[in-house]
């Protein structure tokens, strides 16, 4: 079976940054997509869970976050218009092979789990893959990256993790919090 | 392909392929019984089923079974070697020498010192010998991991684990898996290549994963390099035979310092300093209380190969 790799290398924003200048070009998350992925994925959805340590990221990645019973509240994230949401949805609009997203207005604090879900272009969208990582701290300003990389794998319908896909896999759930 | 020779070959190999009933550990047919017992590991259903299919001459079915088996999570080193060995054999019987070669290369990447038993048919041994020769000439370079010397770790501190990983192929990733000893699931962090030296990688276990406790405790861990399809290429330890390190107990808070030179509270400058600090702190609290502190998490998305 020909496999097309979907690799999202994610840098967890765990180190505190000081003010807007703290980033110095280093980013909270850096995602690498295989060439074939943009054809299949239409949106990335970002959510932050409080009490991140209480979750098993392996489990979280297996299904749509919205379909899971959460033991702690989601952090309310604000969009560009200042409206609060349980998760932010970003259309995948690559310009020259890259795209910058920004999740701002996150209340500073400790012990989060960040979940990035890749949504298919279907209508309604389905979960193509999910990545979850622990974020020990969100500091004020732009958060610098901690050099901890991980992969987002396409999620198998049986709940397992699958690195790379022939394009046929997705989980039968609509990941959106606001439908 | 005519079925006759296939079945003959399968028959010749039957004793070897159908050897250990538990099928979890690859061993040459002529391995002593004691070695078999000593290395018994968890069963792998894909290996067992593929062996049966090979015995029955169903080579296509065996290939499918083995590919599914290789995609399963938590495949141990021993199981992976066996899966690739059988895959190589099945592909060879199907006349797919290139695919057989690919399977044997993967096997050798994972276990560079692996040798086929002498009872294997000469054609298979010859191919295997050629591939090994290629590796010696560095045409196929096995992934090698030099694990860190990790025996103890400080509590409540991020734990940096540095390993030397050579010949990490395109698309392959190295991960550090860890859990508290006795726990069920492993968490993982990825190894990141350091700028210098380039074959040095570092993974960081967050501080909250090694919390300080009054007594020391053990953590299990293992290192794994997997290809883009999550197939293990190399590793140190595995989920069933993890390595361990010890998290040191939380240090006792130092006892009260005895001030035996004069009476500090009689010094007016100290009270002045305290007053200034208190005023500053109060002002700071007012500022903080009236401002909602928020952070920003930038995300940069990039397609592989894009500038």
HEC string for B257-303: CCCCCCCHHHCHHHHHHHHHHHHHHHHHHHHHHHCCCEEEEEEEEEE
Q: Per the CB < 8 Å rule, is A29 touching B299?
A: yes
Distance CA(A137)–CA(B160), nearest Å, equals: 18
> Is the model more confident about B210 or about A171?
B210
**pLDDT tens digits, one per residue of B135-180:** 666 555 677 888 788 888 998 888 989 898 887 765 578 899 999 9
* Min distance A108 CA to chain B CA atoms (Å): 5
Provide, as residue numbers in chain B, all residues whose Cβ is less than 8 Å from the Cβ of A116: 299
Provide, as residue numbers in chain B, all residues whose Cβ is less than 8 Å from the Cβ of A103: 296-299
Residue B178: per-residue pLDDT: 92
SS (HEC) of B211-255: CCCCCCEEEEEEEEEECCCCCEEEEECECCECEEEEECCCCCCCC
Q: Per the CB < 8 Å rule, is A30 touching B302?
A: yes
- Is the separation of the CB atoms in A114 and B302 below 8 Å? no
Of A5, A28, A33, which is closest to B301 when you measure between CB atoms?
A33
- Is the separation of the CB atoms in A132 and A61 below 8 Å? yes
A82-93 mean pLDDT: 89
Q: Is the pLDDT of residue A40 over 50?
A: yes
pLDDT exceeding 90 applies to what percent of chain A?
7
Residue B138: per-residue pLDDT: 54
**CB-count burial class (<10 Å; 0-12, 13-18, 19+) for B113:** exposed
Q: Per the CB < 8 Å rule, is A97 touching B302?
A: yes
Provide, as residue numbers in chain B, all residues whose Cβ is less than 8 Å from the Cβ of A57: 187
Residue A135: per-residue pLDDT: 78
**Tokens at residue B48, please?**
């067992």
Instruction: Tell me what the pLDDT averaged over chain A comes to.
Output: 69
- Which among A132, A136, A142 has a CA at the least distance from the CA of A111? A136
Residue B6: per-residue pLDDT: 41
- Is the separation of the CB atoms in B219 and B179 below 8 Å? yes
Strands B187-190 and B159-166 come out as unpaired
Q: Per the CB < 8 Å rule, is B301 touching A153?
A: no
Provide, as residue numbers in chain B, all residues whose Cβ is less than 8 Å from the Cβ of A108: 293-295
pLDDT exceeding 70 applies to what percent of chain A?
64
Distance CA(B31)–CA(B34), nearest Å, equals: 8
Residue A24: per-residue pLDDT: 31
Q: Assign A72 a pLDDT band (cuts: 50, 70, 90).
A: confident
Provide, as residue numbers in chain B, all residues whose Cβ is less than 8 Å from the Cβ of A90: 299
DSSP state of A53: G
Distance CA(B210)–CA(B245), nearest Å, equals: 11
Provide, as residue numbers in chain A, all residues whose Cβ is less than 8 Å from the Cβ of B302: 30-33, 97-99
Of A33, A59, A142, which is closest to B298 when you measure between CB atoms?
A142
Residue B262: per-residue pLDDT: 47
Strands B294-303 and B243-247 come out as unpaired
Q: Helix and strand tally (H, E) in chain B?
A: 8, 11
Residue A65: per-residue pLDDT: 92
* Min distance A35 CA to chain B CA atoms (Å): 6
Q: What is the DSSP string of B146-202?
A: E----SEE-TTS-EEEEEEEE---TT-EEEEEEEETT-SPPEEEE-EE-SSSTTEEE
pTM above 0.80?
Answer: no
Q: Per the CB < 8 Å rule, is B303 touching A56?
A: no
Residues of chain B with pLDDT under 50: 1-40, 252-262
Residue B101: per-residue pLDDT: 81
Using CA coordinates, name the residue in chain A closest to B296. Answer: A104
Q: Is the pLDDT of residue A49 over 80?
A: yes
The 10 Å Cβ neighbour count of residue B265 is 8
**Tokens at residue B291, please?**
């401002």
Residue A2: per-residue pLDDT: 30
**Tokens at residue A102, please?**
């920004």
């Amino acid at each position: 079976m020909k496999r097309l790799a979907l690799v999202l290398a994610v840098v967890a924003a765990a180190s505190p940054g000081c003010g807007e200048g703290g980033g110095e070009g280093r980013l909270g998350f850096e995602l690498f997509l295989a060439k074939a992925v943009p054809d299949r994925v239409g949106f990335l959805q970002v959510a932050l869970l409080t009490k991140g340590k209480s979750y098993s990221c392996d489990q979280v990645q297996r299904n749509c976050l919205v379909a899971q019973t959460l033991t702690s509240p989601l952090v309310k994230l604000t969009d560009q218009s200042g409206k609060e949401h349980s998760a932010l949805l970003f259309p995948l609009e690559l310009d020259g092979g890259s795209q910058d997203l920004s999740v701002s207005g996150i209340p500073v604090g400790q012990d989060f789990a960040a979940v990035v879900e890749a949504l298919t272009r279907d209508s309604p969208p389905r979960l193509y893959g999910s990545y979850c990582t622990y974020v020990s701290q969100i500091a004020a300003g732009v958060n610098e990256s901690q050099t901890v990389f991980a992969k987002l794998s396409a999620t198998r319908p049986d709940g397992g993790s699958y690195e790379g896909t022939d394009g046929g896999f997705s989980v039968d759930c609509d990941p959106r919090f606001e439908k | 392909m005519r079925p006759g020779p296939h079945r003959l070959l399968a028959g010749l190999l039957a004793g070897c392929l159908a050897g250990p009933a538990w099928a979890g550990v690859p061993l040459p047919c002529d391995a002593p019984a004691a070695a078999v017992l000593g290395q018994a590991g968890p069963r792998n259903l894909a290996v067992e089923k593929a062996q049966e299919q090979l015995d029955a001459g169903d080579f296509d079915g065996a290939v499918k079974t083995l590919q599914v088996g290789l995609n399963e999570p938590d495949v141990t080193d021993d199981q992976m070697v066996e899966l690739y060995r059988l895959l190589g054999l099945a592909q060879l019987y199907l006349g797919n020498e290139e695919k057989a070669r690919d399977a044997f290369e993967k096997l050798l990447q994972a276990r560079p010192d692996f040798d086929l038993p002498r009872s294997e048919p000469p054609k298979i041994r010859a191919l295997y010998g050629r591939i090994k020769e290629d590796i010696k000439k560095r045409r196929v370079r096995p992934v090698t991991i030099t694990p860190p010397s990790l025996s103890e770790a400080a509590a409540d501190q991020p734990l940096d684990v540095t390993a030397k990983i050579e010949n990490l192929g395109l698309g392959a990733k190295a991960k550090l898996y860890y859990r508290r000893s006795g726990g069920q699931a492993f968490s993982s962090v990825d190894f990141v290549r350091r700028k210098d030296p380039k074959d040095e990688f570092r993974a960081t276990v967050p501080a909250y994963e090694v919390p300080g406790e009054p007594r020391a405790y053990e953590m299990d861990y293992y290192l794994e390099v997997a290809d883009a399809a999550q197939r293990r290429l190399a590793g140190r330890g595995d989920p069933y035979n993890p390595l361990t390190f010890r998290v040191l107990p939380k240090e006792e808070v130092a006892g009260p310092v005895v001030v035996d030179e004069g009476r500090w509270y009689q010094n007016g400058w100290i009270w002045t300093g305290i007053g200034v600090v208190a005023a500053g702190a109060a002002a700071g609290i007012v500022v903080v209380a009236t401002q909602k502190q928020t952070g920003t998490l930038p995300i940069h998305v990039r397609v592989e190969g894009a500038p």
